[in-house]
């Protein structure tokens, strides 16, 4: 184990305890492969599953795995029309498991997420029976203020560029608190506690995942 891995393990164990203190379920694993195994252990066969935009879950192979497994999958990317895409997005709010990540996670267990259409943060806040988040250690920051800064000045600009949006952040790499029609920061969700015990499940991974 190198010094970076030693530091991440100590930090991750503290974050896991802080997430658990907030009525969430949390785990720490070393690799993408371990993360995929743990995620599939948490999702019973036959479950209905959906997601918003989640690069982290894709990077560990989870989206492919649920498509190939014995699950009822609601995938907006398979929709042939905007109307069907919207219908699937609404079905996702009543599924057994909603898969995602977080834009930033403070050491104290508070998460910050930013959304344009808000389907992702809506599902995180209410609806699906379970929310399963795959979070690389690159998204862990010191404080809630740092989490907000990371979400707005790192995750949002990268995602705006990824989607080809015409926003100041996509051109300049940082948040300008804009009111652009393409604004990706329309809704900001701060998650500090899960009223439903263990509804939110977090798998921390000692890898760089997502943005």
Mean pLDDT over 114-133 rounds to 96
Residue of 132, 2, 123 whose CA lies nearest to 57: 132
Q: Per the structure block, which two tokens stand in for 190?
A: 């701060």
Q: What is the pLDDT of residue 1?
A: 79
Q: Per the structure block, which two tokens stand in for 138?
A: 């690159």
CA distance 52 to 88: 11
Mean pLDDT over 141-167 rounds to 96
Q: What is the pTM of this model?
A: 0.96
């Amino acid at each position: 184990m190198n010094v970076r891995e030693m530091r991440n393990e100590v930090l991750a164990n503290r974050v896991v305890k802080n997430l658990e203190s907030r009525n969430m379920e949390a785990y720490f694993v070393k690799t993408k492969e371990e993360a995929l195994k743990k995620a599939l252990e948490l999702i019973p066969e036959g479950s209905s599953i959906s997601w918003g935009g989640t690069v982290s879950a894709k990077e560990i192979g989870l989206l492919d795995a649920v498509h190939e497994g014995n699950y009822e999958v609601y995938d907006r990317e398979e929709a042939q029309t905007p109307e069907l895409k919207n219908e699937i997005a609404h079905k996702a709010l009543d599924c057994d498991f909603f898969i995602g990540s977080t834009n930033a996670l403070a050491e104290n267990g508070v998460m910050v997420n930013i959304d344009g259409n808000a389907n992702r943060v809506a599902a995180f806040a209410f609806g699906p029976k379970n929310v399963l988040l795959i979070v690389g250690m690159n998204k862990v920051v010191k404080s809630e203020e740092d989490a907000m800064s990371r979400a707005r000045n790192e995750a949002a600009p990268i995602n705006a560029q990824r989607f080809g949006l015409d926003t100041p952040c996509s051109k300049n790499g940082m948040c300008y608190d804009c009111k652009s029609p393409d604004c990706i920061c329309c809704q900001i969700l701060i998650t500090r506690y899960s009223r439903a015990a263990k509804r939110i499940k977090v798998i921390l991974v000692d890898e760089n995942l997502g943005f």
